Structure 1
Amino acid sequence: MPRQLHINAFDMACVGHIQQGLWTHPRDQSTRYADIHYWTEYAKRLEKGLFDGIFFADVVGVYDVMGASPDAAVRHAVQVPVNDPMMLIPAMAAATTHLGFGVTANLTYEQPFLFARRMSTLDHLTQGRIGWNIVTGYLDSAARAAGLSGQMAHDDRYDLADEYMQLVYRLWEGSWDDGAVLRDKASGVYADPSRVRVIHHHGKQYKVDAMHLSEPSPQRTPVLYQAGASARGTRFAATHAECVFLNGQAQPAVRKIVDGIRAQAVEQGRDARDVKMFLGATIVTGRTEAEARDKFEDYRRYASSEAALVHAAASMGIDFSKYDLDEPVETGKSQAIVSNVEAMTRSAGPQWTRRKLLEQMVLGSRQAPWVGSADRIADMLVEWSEAADVDGFNLSRTVVPECFDDFIELVVPRLQARGAYKTRYTQGTLRGKLFGHDRLPATHAAAPARGAGPAAS
Structure 2
Amino acid sequence: MTKQMRLNAFDMNCVGHIQQGMWAHPRDRSTAYNTLEYWQDFARTAERGKFDGIFLADIVGVYDVFKGSPDPSIAHAVQVPVNDPLLIVPAMAAVTKHIGFGVTCNLTYEPPYLFARRMSTLDHLTRGRIGWNIVTGYLDSAARGMGLAKQAKHDDRYETAEEYMEVVYKLWEGSWEDDAVLCDRERGIYADPRKVHRVQHAGQHYRVDAIHLSEPSPQRTPVLYQAGASSRGKDFAAKHAECVFLAGPTKENTRTTVTDLRQRAAEQGRDPTDILVFLGRAVVVGRTRKEAEEKYEEYHRYASIEGALSHFSSITGVDFSRYDPDEPLRHEENDATNSILRAFTVDSSETWTLRKIFGEKGLGSRNEPLIDSAEEIADELQSWVADTDIDGFNLSRVVTPEGLEDFVDLVVPLLQERGIYKRDYAEGTLREKLFGRGRARLATSHPGASFRSLGSSAAPSQTLSPAAE
Normalising by structure 2, what TM-score?
A: 0.95
In the superposition, relative to structure 1, how do residues 405 and 415 fare at CA in structure 2: closer, same or farther (>3 Å)? Answer: same
Q: Is the 8 A contact 2:21 2:303 kept in 1?
A: yes
Q: Is the 8 A contact 1:66 1:314 kept in 2?
A: yes
Q: Deviations over 1:230-268 (max 9, x none)?
A: 100000000000000000321121111111111111111
In the superposition, relative to structure 1, how do residues 412 and 238 fare at CA in structure 2: closer, same or farther (>3 Å)? Answer: same
Match of 1:223 in 2: 223
Q: What is the deviation of 1:328?
A: 5.0
Q: Is the 8 A contact 1:74 1:80 kept in 2?
A: yes
Q: What is the deviation of 1:347?
A: 7.7
Match of 1:372 in 2: 372
Match of 1:121 in 2: 121
Q: Deviations over 1:340-389 (max 9, x none)?
A: 11112158779754434432771000011111110111111111111111
Q: Which amino acid aligns with 2:196?
A: V
Match of 1:456 in 2: 467
Secondary structure of the residue aligned to 2:318 is coil
Q: Aligned partners of 2:93 and 2:152: how far apart in 1?
A: 35
Match of 1:421 in 2: 421
Q: Aligned partners of 1:420 and 1:175: how far apart in 2?
A: 40
Match of 2:457 in 1: none
Q: Aligned partners of 2:317 and 2:361: how far apart in 1?
A: 18
Q: Aligned partners of 1:339 and 1:352: how far apart in 2?
A: 15
Match of 1:64 in 2: 64
Q: Is the 8 A contact 1:27 1:400 kept in 2?
A: yes
Q: Is the 8 A contact 2:33 2:39 kept in 1?
A: yes
Q: What is the deviation of 1:92?
A: 0.5
Match of 1:41 in 2: 41
Q: Aligned partners of 2:150 and 2:114: how far apart in 1?
A: 24
In the superposition, relative to structure 1, how do residues 295 and 351 fare at CA in structure 2: closer, same or farther (>3 Å)? Answer: closer
Q: Is the 8 A contact 1:243 1:275 kept in 2?
A: yes
Secondary structure of the residue aligned to 1:371 is strand
After superposing the two structures, state which structure 1 stretch, 403-412 or 314-323, moved more.
Answer: 314-323
Q: Deviations over 1:78-123 (max 9, x none)?
A: 0000000100000100111001000000001111100000000000
Compute the RMSD of aligned alpha carbons: 1.4
Q: Which amino acid aligns with 2:249?
A: Q
Q: Which amino acid aligns with 1:197?
A: H
In the superposition, relative to structure 1, how do residues 233 and 370 fare at CA in structure 2: closer, same or farther (>3 Å)? Answer: same
The answer to whether 1:267 aligns with 2:270 is no
Q: Aligned partners of 1:361 and 1:200: how far apart in 2?
A: 54
Secondary structure of the residue aligned to 1:54 is strand
Q: Which amino acid aligns with 1:17?
A: H
Q: Aligned partners of 1:187 and 1:143: how far apart in 2?
A: 51
Q: Which amino acid aligns with 1:456?
A: A
Q: Is the 8 A contact 1:16 1:22 kept in 2?
A: yes
The answer to whether 1:51 aligns with 2:51 is yes
Normalising by structure 1, what TM-score?
A: 0.97
Q: Which amino acid aligns with 1:442?
A: T
Match of 2:399 in 1: 399
Q: Which amino acid aligns with 1:88?
A: I
Match of 1:342 in 2: 342
Q: Is the 8 A contact 2:332 2:341 kept in 1?
A: no
Q: Say how many residue pairs are matched.
A: 457
Q: Is the 8 A contact 1:248 1:281 kept in 2?
A: no
Q: Aligned partners of 1:4 and 1:296: how far apart in 2?
A: 29
Q: Aligned partners of 1:332 and 1:226: how far apart in 2?
A: 23
In the superposition, relative to structure 1, how do residues 148 and 424 fare at CA in structure 2: closer, same or farther (>3 Å)? Answer: same
Match of 1:32 in 2: 32
The answer to whether 1:438 aligns with 2:449 is no
Q: Aligned partners of 1:285 and 1:149: how far apart in 2?
A: 46
Secondary structure of the residue aligned to 2:465 is coil
5+ long unaligned stretches in structure 2: 454-460
Q: Deviations over 1:119-146 (max 9, x none)?
A: 0000000000000000010110001111
Q: Is the 8 A contact 2:397 2:404 kept in 1?
A: yes
Q: Aligned partners of 1:14 and 1:81: how far apart in 2?
A: 6
Q: Is the 8 A contact 2:283 2:370 kept in 1?
A: yes
Match of 1:134 in 2: 134
After superposing the two structures, state which structure 1 stretch, 338-347 or 258-267, moved more.
Answer: 338-347
Q: What is the deviation of 1:68?
A: 1.2
Q: Aligned partners of 2:224 and 2:360: how far apart in 1?
A: 31
Q: Which amino acid aligns with 2:186?
A: A
Secondary structure of the residue aligned to 1:446 is helix
Q: Aligned partners of 1:351 and 1:268: how far apart in 2?
A: 35
The answer to whether 1:170 aligns with 2:170 is yes
